[in-house]
Copies of this chain bind each other. A is one copy, B any other.
Amino acid sequence: MRDVVRVLVLGTGRMGSGVARLVCEKQGLELTGAFARRAERNGLDIGQAIGLDRDLGSSIATDLDAAIAYSQPDIAIQTTCSRIEDAMDEITTLVGAGVHVISIAEELAYPACRSAQAADELQRLAVANGVSILGTGINPGFVLDTLIVTLTGVCADVESISATRINDLSGYGPSVLKSQGVGLSEKAFRQGVDDGSVVGHIGFPESICLIAAALGWEIERIEETREAIVSRVRRQTALVTIEPGQTAGCLHKAVAYRQDNAVIMLEHPQQVRPDLEGVETSDTIEIKGTPDIRIVSSPELPGDVGTIAIAVNVIPHVLNASPGLHTMLDLPVSGALLGDAREFIAP
């Protein structure tokens, strides 16, 4: 059997720590290093920093070259950012050092969607260095794209696709709440949408590109809207109290058109405590076609553990892939990695 797979994690926040802990649990994988952007993390023992109850004997590096040098990784998992432009430098450094890359940056789920130039550059670099790059995550990467594509596999024809993902932001931190406009007045919410501080969901265009690429659809345009979810009741969490009339979150929608018909309609209302207005969290996918399909996950497939899990579960498939930039459409179906990871890696 081959040696254990050496894994470097980039980012030691909620996602990065979760990925790092899960790597530690998996047979055949070894967490050999961690990189953090924040200077104050430099030199901390990794085990303590990611929430293990033991030292790992190696330290967080805030210089990526140094992290690569000491951890000698086969593969790196990037959890430091959402945007391509913010992700490129780290990926370029990793790939240049011959390290495979999995990124949970939302825009990496389908890089060509925002930047054909960045996608070409990543493809060229990956091939030149004999490694693979994959963007993944629960969404984009799974619920509103890969799972939808999977379901269309039993369709003889598809006319249109609608999907809605309803979640609860109560467990998330201040930066996530801010990005969804939680706790604002309606007016401040609209201003936030205009000035870009209320972001909504990052990943609709990527999900749409993934679906369209899988089905062979040419999409003419994508229209996105962000509306305030104005609370009718008092909603309270550990971090925020929302009075009636304030915004509990952001209803973000995207509609993709083909030959002037709306063919992909995605909705992702993100808010705190939807249950207080009788709204259950769920994922719903509806396909109009032959046959019609309607499938509901209740509650929704959870975002945090789901992203952490899929980023680790795909490791063998990324190592097995031909060198290049890949999407979730290029890899075999990736189940939970429960056995020894080495048994899933081609010789």
Number of copies: 2
**Hey, which chain B residues are within 8 Å of A71, CB to CB?**
none
Decide: A338 and B291 in contact? CB cutoff 8 A: no
Distance of A331 Cα from B214 Cα, bound (Å): 14
For the complex formed, measure the closest distance between the CB of A319 and the CB atoms of chain B, giving whole angstroms: 15
For the complex formed, measure the closest distance between the CB of A187 and the CB atoms of chain B, giving whole angstroms: 37
User: Is the C-beta of A313 less than 8 angstroms from some C-beta in chain B?
Assistant: yes
Decide: A138 and B158 in contact? CB cutoff 8 A: no
Q: Which residues 96-153 in A have Cβ within 8 Å of B in the complex?
A: 138, 142, 146-147, 149-153
**Hey, which chain B residues are within 8 Å of A306, CB to CB?**
154, 291
Residue of B nearest to A331 (CB): B332
Decide: A215 and B338 in contact? CB cutoff 8 A: yes
**Hey, which chain B residues are within 8 Å of A278, CB to CB?**
none
Q: How many residues of A contact B (CB 8 A)?
A: 56
Known: A152-B335, A215-B335. 18 other contacts (CB 8 A): A142-B153, A153-B333, A154-B301, A154-B309, A154-B310, A155-B336, A211-B335, A215-B338, A216-B338, A289-B336, A291-B301, A293-B301, A294-B298, A295-B295, A295-B296, A295-B297, A331-B333, A333-B333
**Hey, which chain B residues are within 8 Å of A338, CB to CB?**
157-158, 215-217
User: Is the C-beta of A163 less than 8 angstroms from some C-beta in chain B?
Assistant: no
Decide: B216 and A156 in contact? CB cutoff 8 A: no
A interface SS class = mixed
For the complex formed, measure the closest distance between the CB of A343 and the CB atoms of chain B, giving whole angstroms: 6
User: Is the C-beta of A65 less than 8 angstroms from some C-beta in chain B?
Assistant: no
Q: A216-B339, A340-B216 are in contact. Are A153 and B289 (CB under 8 A)?
A: no
Distance of A302 Cα from B156 Cα, bound (Å): 11
Residue of B nearest to A344 (CB): B216
Distance of A300 Cα from B294 Cα, bound (Å): 9
Decide: B215 and A309 in contact? CB cutoff 8 A: no
